[in-house]
Structure 1
Amino acid sequence: MEHLLSAGDEVTVIDNLSTGRLENLRDVIGHRNFRFIEGDILDKAAVDKAVAGANRVFHLAAAVGVNLIVEHPLESLRTNIHGTEVVLDSVLANGASLLLASTSEIYGKNTADSLNEDADRILGSALKSRWTYAAAKGIDEAFAHAYWREFGLEVAIVRLFNTVGPRQTGRYGMVVPRLIRQALAGEPLTVYGDGRQTRCFSYVGDIVPAITRISEVPSAYGQAFNLGGSYEISILTLAERIIELLGSESDIRFVPYEEAYAEGYEDMRRRVPDNGKARQLVGFDPKTTLDQIIRNVAADQRSETQAGGRLKVSMAGN
């Protein structure tokens, strides 16, 4: 949003504020090129109002966070599948192009050294909410691809790998802001399972420009692109690094998955992206180190605490 406004674009945002707050928009509220609509992507009239007159649409709205997905599976399915169809229809009718934000969850349990966009999807039971979310996002991508093939919709897909940044909290299961909050408060850092599961974290400041550039390249239409960090780290090592970097006196507490989440959760052991396709298309090369990500998120949380406000929640759409 800030990135687009700084480039001189006119920006309209639609959000139902279920996981976001208007405070997150305080730096852009009142900007002459910014308009906010409080509405839901399941509401066709609201979506049509937001899309009218646009030449580019970024579909970032989704049910997000492990906790929300596991505890409210039906709401998540409706938002992610039906909401995306509403957006696709509106964008097509208005003659705009679309950038669809998908997820690394698409790959499920595939633990390959480096997942490329054609990697096999290995999902668990359809009765476990973790995998129904992955299936729903896969349907989103299939819908988008079908609209491209059958209707000529100019749509590109990006698969995001654990994107982290300011204005994000651990409220819905985001591990980095949750661990940082605990470290700053002197609380035990809760590591789920044995902590040996690994992830590659990416910084929002690296991801947003790449998303924007991909949306501008016609050859990206009908394709999917991974966007993720380049450094693999276990969650246990991440917790240890946060404690060290922030000078915290917290210890680490291991929490069994069955205690951490409602029924229906299953973890994956590894998730490593191959960014080669996005690198070739738009020169994607994430520069922000994990240490800098931790420092930036910690600085944001300290600022919020000092201001007497609650911690921010990331604007993720729905």
Structure 2
Amino acid sequence: MPHPQTRSDGVTDHSKFLVTGGAGFIGSHLVDALLARGEPVVVLDDLSTGRMENLSRARRHGRFRFVHGSVLDAPLVDELVSGCDRIVHLAAAVGVKLIVEQPLKSFTVNTKGTETVIEAAHRHSRPVLIASTSEIYGKNSSGPLTETSDRILGSPSVSRWSYSTAKAVDEILAELYRREYGLNSTIVRFFNTVGPRQSPAYGMVIPRFARQAVRGEPLTVYGTGQQQRCFLHVNDVVAALLSLIDRPESQGETFNIGSDEEISILDLAARVIGSAKSTSTLQRVPYSAAYGPGFEDMERRVPDTTKLRAFTGWRPQRNLDDVLADAVADARREERMVVAGPCPA
């Protein structure tokens, strides 16, 4: 349920949310859901990976405001935080491809940006939900990973682990601010979220497979293809976020958000081809060709979401077939737009 607040004049207001990275894939879906509940929303996004078209529905809403800017801009972040009641910090440099190609920029945005948001949230006594990642666990390929599972990382010289380290710094900052200053923070770790509006540009496997399949191109499988992953529909992710936002007792806690429906990347490629009714074939690509020499991956990454389920009663409502059907439909829409070309002025 929304968080109505009653003013001294008897008029009921809703909490105003600041969503950093709100023009991104997950962020824009959360913004739509908050607006649908009657919550006013301010989005801060520099559009480096987010897209204004993701907010086409939100921009028609009277309770919505978009601010083009960066979480590295401390005065701007402070101003926006002071004018909102609750903060959802989703802004980050994401995607394996982006992290490998721009490791320093990614590290800086993820650590300094989060520090800026946390400092402002503390200064103005605002609760903040902070997005983290399954990359926290590094190369830990053991059974379903709980929130307290060990982090196993490779050499600091490997760019991929700089992202894991940056997000760990984010989590540590939130925890230390909570312990020492009483910051009301909740941390969520996303495991392979998929759905409409997700770009394949930054290494996300299902959008890439879906676009290759609808074009009849070979699906490029990196590495052996035996690596196991789980994929959760973005609508189920948003439902999980709302369930935590609505529970003040979630503050001070960390939660995995993901699916436990496990599949190998080779089998995933075959399922995408089937879902798209495509004639595409498979093409193996070494990691070194895709990401450069020295790239490291993990064989298995499966979340344990027992804590989230027990805490909120949340359950995923969509299975992998639903995820793939939406991904293929989204890829077909994009192809139609490309064929049609830009609208006449």
TM-score (norm 2): 0.88
Q: Identity across aligned pairs (percent)? A: 50
Shift of 1:213: 1.6
Q: Aligned partner of 2:94: which letter?
A: V
> 1:266-288 CA deviation, whole Å, 9 max, x = no partner?
11110000000000111121121
Residue number in structure 2 paired with 1:236: 266
Alignment match of 2:242 (pick from 212, 223, 227): 212
Residue number in structure 1 paired with 2:280: 250
Residue number in structure 2 paired with 1:24: 54
Residue number in structure 2 paired with 1:112: 142
Structure of higher RCO (CA pairs closer than 8 Å, 6+ residues apart) = 1
Structure-2 separation of matches of 1:276 and 1:309: 45
Residue number in structure 2 paired with 1:222: 252
Residue number in structure 2 paired with 1:69: 99
Structure-2 separation of matches of 1:41 and 1:137: 15
Aligned length: 311
Structure-1 separation of matches of 2:236 and 2:60: 26
Residue number in structure 2 paired with 1:8: 38
Structure-2 separation of matches of 1:184 and 1:150: 53
Structure-2 separation of matches of 1:105 and 1:26: 31
1:273 and 2:290 correspond: no
Which residues of structure 1 form unaligned runs of 5+?
Answer: 311-318
Structure-1 separation of matches of 2:52 and 2:86: 23
SS of the residue 1:122 aligns to? coil
Structure-2 separation of matches of 1:263 and 1:55: 46
1:50 and 2:46 correspond: no
Structure-2 separation of matches of 1:228 and 1:309: 35
SS of the residue 1:307 aligns to? helix
Alignment match of 1:168 (pick from 198, 205, 209): 198
Q: Aligned partner of 2:109: which letter?
A: T
1:82 and 2:116 correspond: no
1:130 and 2:170 correspond: no
> 1:49-108 CA deviation, whole Å, 9 max, x = no partner?
332221111100111000110011100110011110000011112221100000000011
Structure-2 separation of matches of 1:304 and 1:247: 17
> 1:132-166 CA deviation, whole Å, 9 max, x = no partner?
11011011000001111111111000000000110
Shift of 1:24: 1.2
Alignment match of 1:139 (pick from 162, 169, 172): 169
| RMSD of Structure 2 on Structure 1 (CA) | 1.4
Shift of 1:302: 1.5
Bigger Rg, which one: 2
Shift of 1:31: 1.0
Residue number in structure 2 paired with 1:316: none
Alignment match of 2:212 (pick from 166, 182, 186): 182
Q: Aligned partner of 1:175: which letter?
A: V
Residue number in structure 2 paired with 1:34: 64
Distance 1:143 1:264, change over 3 A: farther
> 1:154-189 CA deviation, whole Å, 9 max, x = no partner?
100000000011001210000000000000000000
Which residues of structure 2 form unaligned runs of 5+?
Answer: 1-30, 341-345
Q: Aligned partner of 2:62: which letter?
A: R
SS of the residue 2:327 aligns to? helix
Shift of 1:309: 7.8
Q: Aligned partner of 1:193: which letter?
A: G
More displaced stretch, 300-309 vs 133-142: 300-309
Structure-2 separation of matches of 1:3 and 1:264: 41
The question of whether the paired residues in 1 share the 8 Å contact of 2:178 and 2:185 is answered with: yes
The question of whether the paired residues in 2 share the 8 Å contact of 1:53 and 1:94 is answered with: no
Q: Aligned partner of 1:229: which letter?
A: S
Q: What are the residue-to-residue correspondences of 1:191-210 with 2, within 5 Å?
A: 191-210=221-240
1:300 and 2:326 correspond: no
Shift of 1:306: 1.8
